[in-house]
């Protein structure tokens, strides 16, 4: 299985594959993502001559493109800026997210940024892109690929590697969301400083019979540092408005943080493969073979791209 949209689809593809196997529609499914950016264009850029208005969802772009809202960086920056205004979140707290994930990548030989350390001073001095984001708040642009194989639990018992189980899967958004890439900007004020993953969180925890306190690690979609903070709150990992201090206190860091997060480096420092590498890292953690291994990890949350129609998984060993 593959998907045609951006970062919201990785967990959905895995969930759909699991559903196909559970209903005996399929016996073995490969979920993959491959990106070769040099083949067409880099993300975040508009193409001259792009035609708007030929698809049903393009109608909403008439309220976005003429005012400069033409890429994800701008769209997510608005959400995070509002969070800063509302809760006092700071750019230094964003920096702690970036530095933490870079340290994880520095220990991961497969990470693009394996040999490039980062400090808070580096983060603060980076060129500004769209306030409050600087260059080091934004995910990498990389070529790469990864894949997962899904089979039934009965079949998995005969395979060479320790199986990891899809405990819960969810996709979609809350009832006040629209469709398309700018749906987050149609929300009422009380929901605006979210990553549109609160409904997913409720579904996942209810389905699996667990809560955020049961998580051993998390792989959150880090297209931008600030969106990690919004996901921490949406998934109940910390209270609303407290994700900035939570990150600054080292809660996301391996090995001693309260919830080691993006332990391979994430999209900010390992590679940007639309988040399927986050699922791969969760599988490694639960098998006990990760580079930055969380001791005795049993349950991992994986979240796909927030701020757009999205999806999430709970995986268990």
Catalytic residue positions, numbered:
221, 272
Query: How does DSSP assign 132-174, residue by residue?
Result: TEEGGGB-----EEEEEEEE-HHHHTTSSSPP-EEEEEEEE--
> For the sheet containing 310-316, what is the strand order?
165-172, 310-316, 299-303, 217-219
Is there a contact between 308 and 7 (Cβ–Cβ < 8 Å)? yes
Which element (helix H / strand E) includes 10? helix 10-22
Is there a contact between 243 and 225 (Cβ–Cβ < 8 Å)? no
How many whole angstroms separate alpha carbon 195 and alpha carbon 199? 10
Dihedral-angle region of residue 307 (phi above 0 means left; psi in -120 to 50 means alpha; beta otherwise) = left
SS3 state of residue 299: strand
What backbone phi and psi angles, to 5 degrees, belong to 283? -60, -45
How many whole angstroms separate alpha carbon 110 and alpha carbon 91? 28
Report strand pairing: 133-134 vs 128-130: antiparallel
How many whole angstroms separate alpha carbon 92 and alpha carbon 134? 11
Q: Is the peptide bond before 255 cis (omega within 30 degrees of 0)?
A: yes
How many whole angstroms separate alpha carbon 81 and alpha carbon 8? 22
**CA atoms within 13 Å, Cβ hemisphere of 238:** 18
Helices and strands in the chain: count of H runs, count of E runs? 10, 8
């Amino acid at each position: 299985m593959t998907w045609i949209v951006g970062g919201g689809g990785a967990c959905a593809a895995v969930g759909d594959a699991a559903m196909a196997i559970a209903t005996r529609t399929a016996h073995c499914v490969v979920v993959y993502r491959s990106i070769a950016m040099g083949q067409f264009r880099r993300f975040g850029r508009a193409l001259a001559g792009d035609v708007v208005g030929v698809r049903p969802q393009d109608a909403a772009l008439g309220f976005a493109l003429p005012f400069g809202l033409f890429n994800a960086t701008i769209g997510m920056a608005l959400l995070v800026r509002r969070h800063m205004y509302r809760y006092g979140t700071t750019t230094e707290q964003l920096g702690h997210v970036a530095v933490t994930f870079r340290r994880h990548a520095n220990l991961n030989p497969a990470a693009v940024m394996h040999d490039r350390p980062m400090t808070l001073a580096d983060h603060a001095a980076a060129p500004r892109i769209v306030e409050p984001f600087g260059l080091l708040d934004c995910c990498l642009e990389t070529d790469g690929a990864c894949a997962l194989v899904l089979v039934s639990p009965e079949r998995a018992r005969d395979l060479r590697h320790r199986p990891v189980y899809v405990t819960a899967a969810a996709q979609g958004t809350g009832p006040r969301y629209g469709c398309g890439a700018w749906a987050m900007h149609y929300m009422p004020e009380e929901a605006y400083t979210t990553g549109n993953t609160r409904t997913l969180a409720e579904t996942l925890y209810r389905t699996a019979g667990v809560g955020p306190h049961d998580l051993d690690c998390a792989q959150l979609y880090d297209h931008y540092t600030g969106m990690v903070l919004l996901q921490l709150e949406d998934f109940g990992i910390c209270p609303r408005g407290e994700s900035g201090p939570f990150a600054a206190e080292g809660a996301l860091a391996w090995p001693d943080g309260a919830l080691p997060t993006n332990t391979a480096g994430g999209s900010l420092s390992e590679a940007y493969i639309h988040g399927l590498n986050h699922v791969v890292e969760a599988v490694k953690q639960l098998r006990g073979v990760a580079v930055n291994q969380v001791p005795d990890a049993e349950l991992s949350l994986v979240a796909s791209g927030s701020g757009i129609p999205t999806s999430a998984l709970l995986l268990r060993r």
